[in-house]
Structure 1
């Protein structure tokens, strides 16, 4: 287990790139073979703006990575943070708790806050205005959102007390799980449901991309489903009835243009009140 952690402490940039590209390629192929929806789109044309925003996310995280390293080194040297204050435990449990708690701060909490604060919701809209959710949607984040997400992850590192090995492991898992649960994959319902008791499955996350409230404001998790289940934000919906996008930004052509998406957070928009579907 120590060797496993050592690997992620020193994971080469090449290996991180392989995880990004390899995961994207794998789920691209799987969703092409067993799609949940047979989208009437040109896959590469749809993928281009999403890949552009994936690259901006990579650049921002690369530029700011030194802050993660400095913070992780500081909590380690000062024995600071939740997992360092707990009673002595096995290394395996230490790693698991670190990843679990980082998933709360870096994914669940960040995502929840983005939906509850108007200005942040406008930034997050770029992610939700994809009308054909597939594996490339995973990192369709406006550059401002990439900074916001990074800030929450940095906060998580300090509060959790995660060493850099656990941070790198978390980020790798977060990337792959995001590609997985956004993928346009049709798993057998029983398998998908079973996965969702512990992890965020494709059907579970797709509910979050439904265009109507209250479903848009549910299922915020990325790796572990436990946060949604414990904190009352878990919802289910018939996957065959899902409609992607946001009802006040219905123009699919505009929502597929990089220039329009970069401007989207600065447009005037007021969120509708919750109107549950029957």
Structure 2
């Protein structure tokens, strides 16, 4: 554990990129071998749209990364945050607790808030307008949403009092698990169910991408499934009944157009259609 911890404490940016690219490549190949749905679309064109949003996320996060580092350094220097207040514990337990709390604040809570706050839902809509969910969908986030997620990660770092190594371990796991649970792969049902008691499995997260409420407002987790189970947002839906997309934006052609996607947050915020969304819970 100590060797892993030390590696992530000084992980080069190039290695972080390798983790991202390797995850996409691995699950991309796996989707051809054991697909959940036989999706009829141009996989390359679909990936192009989503990889564009991957690049914008990197561009947003790169210049802001120093804020994350400064937040972490401040908590350590001032002995602030949950990990700093707890008694000395084994390193593996410290990492586990840190990653779990970061996962709750930076992923589950951020995701839940995006579904409940009107202006943030407008940015998060881009993620839900994908009608062909696969591993690249994990990276389909509007630049505005990337900023929101970064703010929550900084807040999580502040609350946890997380050393930079734990932040890097969390972010690596977050990337890999997000690609895994979005991947269009079919696992044996029993395997998926067992996994869903610990981590967010593919079948569990696909429910969140069903186009209608209340399923859209369920299964917010990214790494650990415990948060949805504890907070009453865990739901099941047979794969055969899942329809991807979001009912307020049903036009697949527009939802595959980069320019139209970038404008969605501003249309969603101003459009009377959002009133209808509010009445059904998508506020």
TM-score of the pair, normalised by structure 2 = 0.95
Name the structure 1 match of 2:193.
193
Aligned mates of 1:258, 1:87 — CA distance in 2: 50
Name the structure 2 match of 1:62.
62
- Partner of 1:244, secondary structure, is coil
Aligned mates of 1:70, 1:112 — CA distance in 2: 26
Name the structure 2 match of 1:8.
8
C-alpha deviation, 1:59, in angstroms: 1.2
Name the structure 1 match of 2:131.
131
- Partner of 2:58, secondary structure, is helix
C-alpha deviation, 1:2, in angstroms: 2.2
C-alpha deviation, 1:87, in angstroms: 2.1
Aligned mates of 1:193, 1:58 — CA distance in 2: 33
Name the structure 2 match of 1:49.
49
Aligned mates of 1:3, 1:28 — CA distance in 2: 30
- Partner of 2:88, secondary structure, is coil
Count of aligned residue pairs for this structure pair: 275
- Partner of 1:170, secondary structure, is helix
Aligned mates of 1:34, 1:160 — CA distance in 2: 38
Aligned mates of 1:161, 1:193 — CA distance in 2: 33
Aligned mates of 2:216, 2:126 — CA distance in 1: 14
Name the structure 2 match of 1:264.
264
Q: Which moved more, 1:250-259 or 1:217-226?
A: 250-259
Equivalent residues in 2 for 1:213-228, closer than 5 Å: 213-228=213-228
Aligned mates of 2:23, 2:59 — CA distance in 1: 18
C-alpha deviation, 1:272, in angstroms: 5.3
Aligned mates of 1:274, 1:188 — CA distance in 2: 34
Aligned mates of 2:87, 2:11 — CA distance in 1: 29
Aligned mates of 1:63, 1:21 — CA distance in 2: 20
C-alpha deviation, 1:3, in angstroms: 2.1
Deviations 1:3-49 (A, max 9, x none): 21111011011111110100000000001111111011010011111
Name the structure 2 match of 1:210.
210
Aligned mates of 1:187, 1:60 — CA distance in 2: 34
Name the structure 1 match of 2:119.
119
Name the structure 2 match of 1:101.
101
Aligned mates of 1:66, 1:224 — CA distance in 2: 27
Aligned mates of 1:232, 1:162 — CA distance in 2: 27
Name the structure 2 match of 1:158.
158
Which consecutive unaligned segments of at least 5 residues does structure 1 have?
A: none
Deviations 1:103-137 (A, max 9, x none): 00100000000000111111100000000000000
Q: Which moved more, 1:247-256 or 1:218-227?
A: 247-256
1:148 aligned to 2:152? no
C-alpha deviation, 1:89, in angstroms: 1.0
Aligned mates of 1:232, 1:211 — CA distance in 2: 20
1:246 aligned to 2:217? no
C-alpha deviation, 1:225, in angstroms: 0.3
Name the structure 1 match of 2:167.
167
TM-score of the pair, normalised by structure 1 = 0.97
After the TM superposition, list the runs of 4 or more consecutive aligned residues in structure 1 that deviate by more than 2 angstroms. 272-275
Deviations 1:141-174 (A, max 9, x none): 0000000000000000000110000001100110
